[in-house]
Amino acid sequence: MVGRLTGRRAVVTGGAGGIGRAIAAAYLREGASVVIADVDAAAAKNTAEELSNIGKIFAISCDVTKSDETRSLAADAIRRLGSVNVLVNNAGLSGRGFITEIPEERIDALLAVNMKGVILCAQAFAQAMYDEGEAVMINMSSQAGKRGWPELSVYGATKAGVLGMNRALAVELAPRVRVNAICPGYISEVGMAWRGWEARGEIEGANATDIGDQFAEENIPLQRLQRADDIANTAVFLASDDAR
């Protein structure tokens, strides 16, 4: 059966786990060929092996904060796939803390991965994708980039920066590359909030799932947390002809 992404050749950064893994799996199910890139080479290799029964997938080690590695990723992905017409800039780093307490090293790391990493990957792939035409770039931002939350000032700033770059690239690379952003909220089983609920659960002797469900009932109109598959389904739509 022909899937919605048949003929698509995609690179997903941060693809070894969480949202990136879910996107890679969804792309494979819809007929795309996929390269997952991750700084954790062993995890990326394991994920590729686990998903290889679904479709054509490769794993490449890449630190998105280093331009030589992002350029190498682009060249290697094009060599393996033939070309790249979908780039998902999903690699990211979480971190929270009051502005007076968050260490400078953490600030540097958040800026390097969440902003510089997206910029370097866009630089590495943009020309080849523009030449290809009918290409798609998806940049992973966050609800924290759109509204303010305590202890997320630095993280939110990096994700707001992604949105600013996304708007500019959407104009700069049009009409040959469609550029969109996804802004996840509270995700079940992955992300900062979930890890916080796990830590709270250990202290209180409670279950992270129950804590998350209670939070959703009290704070989210649909009364449920997002799942990684929800984000993956959005990424499938944006990469498909349905989003033209």
Q: Is the pLDDT of residue 194 over 70?
A: no
CATH among 3.40.50.720, 3.10.20.30, 3.30.70.260, 3.40.50.620 for 9-185+227-243: 3.40.50.720
Distance in angstroms (rounded) separating the CA atoms of residues 187 and 229: 10
Tokens read off for 95? 């971190």
pLDDT band at residue 225 under the 50/70/90 scheme: confident
Residue 152 in this model has a pLDDT that exceeds 60:
yes
**Whether the predicted pLDDT of 186 surpasses 90:** no
- Give the active site residue among 27, 130, 155, 186: 155
pLDDT band at 211 (very low <50, low <70, confident <90, very high): confident
**Please, which pLDDT band fits residue 149 given cuts at 50, 70 and 90?**
confident
Tell me if residue 7 falls in helix, strand or coil.
Answer: coil
Instruction: Answer yes or no: 186 catalytic.
Output: no
Q: Would you list the domain boundaries of the chain? A: 9-185+227-243, 188-225
Backbone angles phi, psi at 36, to 5 degrees: -100, 135
Residues 243, 24, 162, 77, CA torsion sign: negative
Q: What is the pTM of this model?
A: 0.93
Q: Does 75 score more than 70 pLDDT?
A: yes
3-state helix, strand, coil in the chain (%, to 5): 55, 15, 30
Q: How confident is residue 220, by pLDDT bands cut at 50, 70 and 90?
A: confident
Structure tokens at 151: 């202890």
Tell me: cis bond preceding 184? Omega within 30 of 0 counts. no
| Strand positions, DSSP E, the chain | 9-13, 33-38, 57-61, 86-89, 135-140, 177-182
User: What is the identity of the amino acid at 224?
Assistant: R
Residue 19 near residue 36 (C-beta atoms within 8 A): no
Residue type, 155: Y
**C-alpha to C-alpha distance for 70 and 65, rounded to whole angstroms:** 8
Question: Across the chain, what does the average pLDDT equal?
Answer: 93
**Mean per-residue pLDDT for 113-120?**
98
Asked if 93 and 114 count as a contact pair (C-beta separation under 8 A), the reply is yes
Amino acid at 156: G
